[in-house]
Amino acid sequence: MNDLLLSTNEVNVLSSGGSRLTKGAALVKQLLPWLLLVVTLMVMLSWLAYKSAGRNLGAEHALQSQLSELKETDAFLDVGIYDVRSNLDADYDLLTVTYEALVSQTKAIQAQSKAMGLKNDSMTKLIEQTEIKGSLLDKFKAGHALYRNSLKYLPDSVSNVRALAVENNAPKKVDDLARSILALSLDYSITGNADKAAELRTVAANLSSIDGLDEELDDARRELVAHAYSVVFQKSAETQQFSDFAAIQFRAKVNDIANEFQQQFDIKTRLEQLYRQALIAFSAVLLVVLVFLAFRLLQSFRLINDANANLEKNVAKRTIDLNQALQQLQTQQSQIIQQEKMASLGQMVAGVAHEINTPLGYLSSGLQSAQASVPLFGQLSQAVSQMITTLTSENASQEDVERDISIAHGLATIIQEEDIVEEIDQLLKNGLFGVEQISEIVANLKDFSRLDSKSSVLYNTTDCIESTLKIATNVIKKVTIQKRLSEVPQSEGFPSQINQVLLNLITNACHATDNRDNGIVSITQTFDEQAKAIKIDIADNGTGIPRDIVGKIFDPFFTTKKVGQGTGLGLHISRQIIEAHKGKISVSSIEGKGTTFSIFLPVV
Amino acid sequence: MKSNVLQFFLSLELLLLTCPSMAMPLSREPIRPLVMLKVDTQKAALGKSLFEDKRLSKDDTVACVSCHSYQTGGVDNLPVSTGIRGQQGVINTPTVFNAANNFVQFWDGRALNLEDQAGHVINNPKEFDSNFRLIIQKLSKDSAMVSEFKKLYPEGLSEPSIRSAIAEFERSLITPSRFDRYLQGDANAINDQEKNGYRLFKSYGCIACHQGQNVGGNMFQVFGAMNNYFADRKTPPTDADNGRYNVTHKESDRHVFKVPSLRNVALTAPYFHDASAATLEQAINTMFKYQLGRTAPQQDKEDIAVFLKSLTGQHVLMNAKRP
């Protein structure tokens, strides 16, 4: 019953100690889902925050202001075109530079809008429009240069023709047509009236169809007609170009694009608002959860405070409980050590009984033999007494005296002849030796099993070894014991417990050599000056301990013996005893060669 | 853009208000004085070495400078230039000086800027017959060149950085002339004949196309506006005669060319895309007949030629010794 109780206790203690290693892993396992939840929530929160605040409004404003600037540039270009049209001495640098700016700004906006991930098909179309505007502009610049030159030169050319016509007596028609060309071309250049253009063409054709003119006048006329045609052609081309310019509607298209972009921005804004609302909702939920957790935490704190208030009381109570448990445990432990000792003793009893039986045997037979001589001495005593009575009697006859003397003499002769006195003396001597032996065994037993050890005493380990060897006579008689015991200082402790350990180790050593003919158990005692410790080696040349179990031999309930033959506690208790003596016990074993147990015990 | 223009006028205004003692620049002239362009001098120096680097051509025989020589007005004074393997070009080489101020590049305006222009020459089988992959391959072996590119461009030696460096150098090839000093208010910078020539240049209408900072170079014009130049020309028509038509394939662009800048015109004979005019006088005659559609006294033409010579500018490289 006790055994059972102890074993469960032991197991409990061991299992709680061993689980410390796996405690960390278990904690992680327990916390992992929570950790994942927290991470997920954080990711969701930051994603929503990113989605609702990640937009660069500055870039959008910049893009819109770029579009405004583009409109300004286009307006500036248009102003430049009109300026050039009305100014015959303008240069084209400003137009050229402004147009280049228009192109580069448009391309920059396209690139920017593309980078911002906006749909910008309309920007591609706008670039096409700038190209159309560019080629129109080229045509305008070229045509306007020719137009202005012809228009400027016409008055001189007309004067030239008229002067030559007068000089050469040319028909009046030449002069009229020349003057008419001047008037019409000026009219047309100002009004742009298509009728005037047709009229001018007709007049010019009429002038060029006049035959028989002087060569010089002919050249001058051809020059005039060419310039008149040039004015008509370039002016009408310019008019067309301007209606084409107007048809481009560049700024209106830019406005459309700005609106288009704004719509896309608005969609983004709406989406952002949605995300923001989601963020707010999510945050609110989180807040509620946090408040709940805080509440729980407060509750826990309250519990802890309560617990703290009762802590001392609880601790005192638990301390008493623990002390009781400890006492119980200690009692159980000393009981189990006692039990083990009893078990060892039990094994010893047979041997001890045998030891005692031998002297008891010859003591008994000696006494029996001595008892057998007792009647003879009784008869002799009776015969001597009869003889003395006869001799001292008055009326004793010679015959009687002689008969009585011969009887006593006969008996004494028997005692002498058979050396009965010597025999009895020898028997008694033997008996006394037997008694001595028995009392020695009894003394050893008493020595060995001093149970009354309430306090530690000074003892010598050499005595322990000797005493144990005596007790173990029965066990060790099959093996050769080799003792090498150096003188050692005294130790302090419980010698009976040390005896128990030694007996256990010696018994184990002898059992290890059971199957060998020349079993040797050597017991070596040395003293390590430096460590101030006694070292006792108990070595055998037995079977050795297999490598895979050598680590377990000090474990409780570990045994290689058959069930019922060993408790499995011997070595465990031996270690506890040695450790209680602040010593150490170790083992080294080679399978098939033998085992050496070493005990280190500190000295006083 | 607008702010730049505004700033320009404001600064002009400020100049007029604050410096009354200074010579007053001529205002409202259709030709405007040259302004130096903002140039990264390190990139320009790298560009110069590329401009002179024959490795840009396939067989390492021709460099940009081979045809755009600094000492001869940025041209080679030949009707057409000679590309690699002795191949003759199809059109007269325009000058590299002040090319940065032209609104487009080439006679037909097929390149919108200098960066673009360089690639056309490199890839043209009659000119460099090369490509940027090959050039980068060659230049990669030149550790000094590679490290210079790495220093100046984040991406190091690359097609865009080669284009950029060359263009940056070309932006430094601006040649202010005596006439610019005249425009800036130095009344004695040109003589009376030159002044008269300028007056005639304007009154005859040359100015209608040759205006602005570059005295041209900011518009296209049809060649033979008033008389059919190509019909009168004795030589057979060429592909190059089609001008801008080759770029746009629009009939209205046939015989249309970029109006060339007249800066340094005295140095860049022969003239026109077909080099049909060997001298400045011949060129002026052609212009009068086919573009202005009028005649002028010989003296007026001479005066105009004298004025045009005052447009010959200054650049440190123009006087540099030939290597």
Last residue within a domain, chosen from A194, A218, A247: A247
Query: What is the pLDDT, as a whole number, of residue A161?
Result: 92
Shortest distance, CA A265 to any CA of chain B (angstroms): 27
Query: What is the pLDDT, as a whole number, of residue A16?
Result: 43
Residues B54-81: what's their mean pLDDT? 94
Task: Report yes or no: A127 at the B interface, CB cutoff 8 Å.
Answer: no
Same domain as A589, residue A473? yes
In chain A, residues with a C-beta closer than 8 Å to the C-beta of B221 are 142, 145-146
Nearest to B293 among A98, A148, A226 (CB): A226
Q: Which helix (H) or strand (E) holds A256?
A: helix A250-309
In chain A, residues with a C-beta closer than 8 Å to the C-beta of B211 are 90-93
Q: Cα–Cα distance between A421 and A408 in angstroms, integer? A: 16
Task: Report yes or no: A90 at the B interface, CB cutoff 8 Å.
Answer: yes
- The answer to whether position A467 is within a domain reads yes
* Rounded (10°) CA dihedral B102, B106, B109, B110: -130
Residues B188-209: pLDDT tens digits? 999 999 999 999 999 999 999 9
> Quick check: B293 and A94 CB within 8 A?
no
Residues 193-212 of B with CB under 8 A from A: 202, 205, 207-209, 211-212
Residues B213-236: pLDDT tens digits? 999 999 999 999 999 999 999 899
In chain B, residues with a C-beta closer than 8 Å to the C-beta of A139 are 252
Same domain as A547, residue A470? yes
Shortest distance, CA B135 to any CA of chain A (angstroms): 29
- For domain B178-313, give its CATH number from 1.10.760.10, 3.30.460.20, 1.20.120.330, 3.20.20.80: 1.10.760.10
Last residue within a domain, chosen from A387, A411, A446: A446
Residues A489-493: what's their mean pLDDT? 87
Same domain as A439, residue A570? no
Shortest distance, CA B145 to any CA of chain A (angstroms): 31
Task: Report yes or no: B31 at the A interface, CB cutoff 8 Å.
Answer: yes
Q: Which helix (H) or strand (E) holds A465?
A: helix A461-471
Nearest to B221 among A142, A226, A227 (CB): A142
> A-B interface: how many C-beta pairs under 8 angstroms?
89
Same domain as A523, residue A577? yes
Residues A362-384: pLDDT tens digits? 788 778 888 888 888 888 888 88
Nearest to B294 among A73, A100, A223 (CB): A223
For residue A447, what pLDDT band results from cuts at 50, 70 and 90?
A: low
Same domain as A591, residue A460? yes
Pick the range with the lowest mean pLDDT from A76-90, A546-560, B154-168, B259-273: A546-560
In chain B, residues with a C-beta closer than 8 Å to the C-beta of A227 are 226, 293
Q: Which helix (H) or strand (E) holds A303?
A: helix A250-309
- The answer to whether position A139 is within a domain reads yes
Residues A210-229: what's their mean pLDDT? 90
Query: What is the pLDDT, as a whole number, of residue A14?
Result: 40
Cβ–Cβ under 8 Å, residues B31 and B193: no
Query: What is the pLDDT, as a whole number, of residue B11?
Result: 54
Averaged pLDDT score across all residues of chain A: 83
Task: Report yes or no: B32 at the A interface, CB cutoff 8 Å.
Answer: yes
Last residue within a domain, chosen from A185, A214, A247: A247
> What is the residue whose two structure tokens read 């590049």?
B105
- The answer to whether position A20 is within a domain reads no
Shortest distance, CA B8 to any CA of chain A (angstroms): 12
Task: Report yes or no: B231 at the A interface, CB cutoff 8 Å.
Answer: no
Task: Report yes or no: B9 at the A interface, CB cutoff 8 Å.
Answer: no
- The answer to whether position A530 is within a domain reads yes
Residue type, B32: R
Chain A residue with Cα closest to B252: A139
- The answer to whether position A465 is within a domain reads yes
Shortest distance, CA A292 to any CA of chain B (angstroms): 57
Query: What is the pLDDT, as a whole number, of residue B110?
Result: 94
Looking at the structure of chain A, the number of domains it has is 3
> Quick check: A157 and B294 CB within 8 A?
yes
- Interface test with chain A among B101, B209, B219, by most A beta carbons within 10 Å: B219
Residues A532-580: pLDDT tens digits? 889 999 998 888 888 888 878 887 767 776 655 666 777 888 888 888 8
For residue A249, what pLDDT band results from cuts at 50, 70 and 90?
A: confident
Is it true that the peptide bond before A155 is cis, omega within 30 degrees of 0?
no
Nearest to A138 among B5, B28, B220 (CB): B220
Q: Which of B55, B122, B119, B57 is nearest to B84 (CA)?
A: B57
Same domain as A542, residue A585? yes
Q: Which domain holds residue A374?
A: 352-446
Nearest to A101 among B1, B32, B212 (CB): B1
Rounded to a whole number of angstroms, the distance between the first and last alpha carbons of chain B is 42
For residue B129, what pLDDT band results from cuts at 50, 70 and 90?
A: very high
Same domain as A469, residue A436? no
Chain A residue with Cα closest to B294: A223
In chain B, residues with a C-beta closer than 8 Å to the C-beta of A138 are 219-220
Q: Cα–Cα distance between B271 and B127 in angstroms, integer? A: 20
Cβ–Cβ under 8 Å, residues A55 and A274: no
Q: Cα–Cα distance between B205 and B291 in angstroms, integer? A: 9
Span B41-171 CATH architecture: Orthogonal Bundle (1.10)
Averaged pLDDT score across all residues of chain B: 90
> Quick check: B226 and A98 CB within 8 A?
no
> Quick check: A96 and B218 CB within 8 A?
yes
> Quick check: B1 and A69 CB within 8 A?
yes
Residue A7 has pLDDT above 60, yes or no: no
> Quick check: A152 and B212 CB within 8 A?
no
Task: Report yes or no: A159 at the B interface, CB cutoff 8 Å.
Answer: no
Same domain as A436, residue A478? no
Catalytic residues of B: 127
Same domain as A462, residue A439? no
Q: Cα–Cα distance between A184 and A193 in angstroms, integer? A: 10
Q: Which helix (H) or strand (E) holds A523?
A: strand A520-528
Query: What is the pLDDT, as a whole number, of residue A11?
Result: 39
Query: What is the pLDDT, as a whole number, of residue A119?
Result: 81
Shortest distance, CA A219 to any CA of chain B (angstroms): 10
Shortest distance, CA A73 to any CA of chain B (angstroms): 7
Same domain as A474, residue A441? no
CATH of the domain at A237: 1.20.120
Cβ–Cβ under 8 Å, residues A209 and A194: no
Residues A75-95: what's their mean pLDDT? 85
> Quick check: A149 and B32 CB within 8 A?
no
Same domain as A420, residue A465? no
Residues B297-306: pLDDT tens digits? 999 999 999 9
- Strand A520-528 to A480-485 pairing: parallel
Same domain as A497, residue A412? no
Nearest to A142 among B219, B248, B294 (CB): B219
> Quick check: A72 and B2 CB within 8 A?
yes
Quick check: do B41-171 and B178-313 share a fold? yes
Query: What is the pLDDT, as a whole number, of residue A13?
Result: 39
> Quick check: B32 and A96 CB within 8 A?
no
Residues B27-63: pLDDT tens digits? 788 999 999 999 999 999 999 999 999 999 999 999 9
> Quick check: B220 and A157 CB within 8 A?
no
Residue A327 has pLDDT above 80, yes or no: yes
> Quick check: B207 and A100 CB within 8 A?
no
Question: In 10 A of CB B24, how many CB atoms?
Answer: 12
Query: What is the pLDDT, as a whole number, of residue B300?
Result: 95
* C-alpha distances out from residue B93 to A57, A294, B81, B104, B107, Å: 51, 86, 7, 15, 9
> What is the residue whose two structure tokens read 């009659």?
B126
> Quick check: A226 and B227 CB within 8 A?
yes
In chain B, residues with a C-beta closer than 8 Å to the C-beta of A98 are 1, 5
* C-alpha distances out from residue A253 to A60, A256, A590, Å: 18, 5, 101
Pick the range with the lowest mean pLDDT from A322-326, A529-533, A549-553: A549-553
Query: How many helices (H) does chain A have, and how many strands (E)?
Result: 16, 7
For residue A445, what pLDDT band results from cuts at 50, 70 and 90?
A: confident
The domain locations on chain B are: 41-171, 178-313
3-state secondary structure of A54: coil
Shortest distance, CA A123 to any CA of chain B (angstroms): 20
Q: Cα–Cα distance between A542 and A508 in angstroms, integer? A: 10
- Interface test with chain B among A68, A73, A91, A156, by most B beta carbons within 10 Å: A91
> What is the residue whose two structure tokens read 């097929």?
B110
Residue A211 has pLDDT above 90, yes or no: no
Residues B269-277: what's their mean pLDDT? 94
> Quick check: A146 and B294 CB within 8 A?
no
- The answer to whether position A174 is within a domain reads yes
In chain B, residues with a C-beta closer than 8 Å to the C-beta of A84 are none
